[in-house]
Structure 1
Amino acid sequence: MAFRSRKRVKPLSFKTAFITSLVIFSLISIQTFLYIEQKLEPAMMRISKTKVEQLAADAINGAISKHIAEGIDFKELVYFREDGNGEIKAILFNYNEQTRIVGVATNRVSNTLKELESVPLEIPLGQALDSNILAMIGPDVPITMVPMGSVQVSLIPEVKEAGINMVHINVYIDIQAKVQVVIPFTTEPTVIRSKIPITQGLFMGDVPNFYFKGSGSPEKDGAPVMPPIQFNTGPLNE
């Protein structure tokens, strides 16, 4: 009886095994990279933008409220223009004080954003999966915020009726700053917006004899309202 001899399989050499493992690892890495880029990247960027915007807005609000709003005097910022009878007909900004506040606020916000650039920010990769269970699972993805361009600062007056013959004046500082949000694999710009009240005042005028309802008809029922006044944000010209 003849016996067939079995051919023994020769084991792979170390070099061949290493090259094969390297190829498999490279294929898996490429697939993982493509998955992250196509599936997780938009979610990661959305979460990163939200976190950066929150952090920057809180820091800006704190800086403006603490270092600028506390030192503003309503009487130095706003003037009242009177007619020959001593009645107030217009409300005017002190242009020099307005310019000073805008300049100080711009520098303060720019410095605040530069300080935030070095603040370490991270989000767990699991948050991009929209799962409550995996939300805190890592690895952590680093986030970097880079300021872009100049900060836009302006003062906005807001006048509201506060009663029959009263007007409540609020002055807000409006801030817009463009920053770049940088995470692994991608980067996108976003705009930080903040509107912060810095001073306010209540103006009480004379009670007129007539007032107008929405229909436009004058009445004399004892409940007149103060006529509208003009708010001018330009330079004060005497």
Structure 2
Amino acid sequence: MNRWRSGGFRARRWRWPKISWSKRRPGWKSSGWRPWSRLPVASQSDAKNASSGWSSRQSKPKRKRRAFFIALVIITLLTVQLFVYVDRNVKGPLMHLAKIRVKQIATQAINRAITDQVMRGRELDKLIEWKTDSRGKVTSFVLNYNEHMRITSETVDIVESSLKNIHEISDKIPLGQALGSPLIASFGPRIPVKMEPQGAVKVELNTRPMDVGINMVLVEVYIKVTEEVAIVIPFDLEPEVVETQIPISYLLVVGDVPMYYYDGKGQPVGANREKAPALSLPMQSVPSSGGSGSISGSKQEGITVPAQTETHADPTAPGETGDVQQHGSNGNTGP
């Protein structure tokens, strides 16, 4: 019995196996008939399926990590591409709009501050000192240095305080305006724009003469304000110079009325235009291509030049003497 148990029986303590005398499987090495058990034993295919199921359960976290890594790479590439596009195509128009907006805000603030504070209740007659001759006529004028320095110093203080207040204001520009499309000009995210004062404010008090009529000159007294600012937008900063000219006074200087004057064609105009000497305007002469003589009138390239003659008239000749004297006289010649 012990021999049979050791040779072929696969007995278990809790269950007796069922013996079958069927033909052996071809994969066994033993020869002849061998009893085998009908107990459910895991086959090689079951083991492979079990191992494959375990590997599939193990590969799910790997697939998730791989998908996350691919998505991260794609998002990074899209972000870099968007940054390059904004840097090349949007930054320039956006900075241009920011400059226009900052200049507008700065100019309005400076003009309002100077108008309200500097020129309120000021006597501008003290700003100009007139120079007259013995007959009381105005010959020249100069700016009063004390009044000049007072206005300049007050303007510098006011402009600096105005720029400090503007620094705290942040304007926003829609991104659609930077793209240049009228359809989406008011859409898109609003990009903040700030202004940072850079350097000192420069203030100059100057005059500008303007001709008014024949005997009058209009003198404009204005303040020229120059300040350096830095325009700040996301991903960029660029300096800009804001220049403003504010007129504060106008002076009209009246001179003597002339007896006559000349218009743009060289003709005398006025009450005594008959007494005005005749003027001969210089004319461009075109050299003739061939022939000799004193007459130089010709036609070249569609430009007609009148003939000019060199005449040496005899004073005794009555006909030629009148023409020459009329050309060089003052209009008092007779027939």
TM interval, short-chain normalised? 0.7 to 0.9
Q: Of 195, 199, 205, which residue of structure 1 is paired with 2:249?
A: 199
Larger strand percent: 1
1:151 maps to 201
Shift of the alpha carbon at 1:19? 2.9
1:37 maps to 87
1:167 maps to 217
Shift of the alpha carbon at 1:166? 3.2
Larger RCO, structures 1/2 (Cα 8 Å, 6+ apart) = 1
- 1:127–1:99 Cα change, 3 Å: same
**Runs of 4+, deviation exceeding 6 Å:** 214-220
Shift of the alpha carbon at 1:152? 1.4
2:24 maps to none
Shift of the alpha carbon at 1:220? 6.7
Gaps of 5+ in 2: 1-48, 274-335
User: Which structure's CA Rg is the greater one?
Assistant: 2
Aligned partner letter, 1:56: A
2:166 maps to 116
The alignment's C-alpha RMSD in Å is 2.6
1:107 maps to 157
How many residues matched?
A: 217
Aligned partner letter, 1:142: P
Shift of the alpha carbon at 1:46? 0.8
- 1:135–1:209 Cα change, 3 Å: closer
Hey, what's the Cα distance between the residues in 2 that align with 1:209 and 1:179? 51
Hey, what's the Cα distance between the residues in 2 that align with 1:132 and 1:209? 58
Shift of the alpha carbon at 1:164? 4.4
Q: Does the 8 Å CA contact 2:214/2:257 hold for their aligned counterparts?
A: no
Hey, what's the Cα distance between the residues in 1 that align with 2:75 and 2:146? 66
Shift of the alpha carbon at 1:208? 4.9
Shift of the alpha carbon at 1:102? 1.0
Q: Does the 8 Å CA contact 2:215/2:258 hold for their aligned counterparts?
A: no
What do the CA deviations read for 1:93-130 (whole angstroms, capped 9, x no partner)? Answer: 00110111111111111111111011011111111110
Q: Of 106, 123, 130, which residue of structure 2 is paired with 1:80?
A: 130
2:67 maps to 17
What do the CA deviations read for 1:164-219 (whole angstroms, capped 9, x no partner)? Answer: 443322111111111100111111111111111111233334x3564554689998
Secondary structure, aligned partner of 1:70? coil
Show the 5 A alignment for 1:189-228: 189-205=239-255, 207-208=256-257, 210=259, 212-213=261-262, 221=271
2:178 maps to 128
- Aligned-pair identity in percent equals 34
Secondary structure, aligned partner of 1:161? strand
Gaps of 5+ in 1: 224-238
**Which moved further from structure 2: 192-201 or 159-168?**
159-168
Aligned partner letter, 1:133: L
Question: TM-score with structure 1 length normalisation?
Answer: 0.80
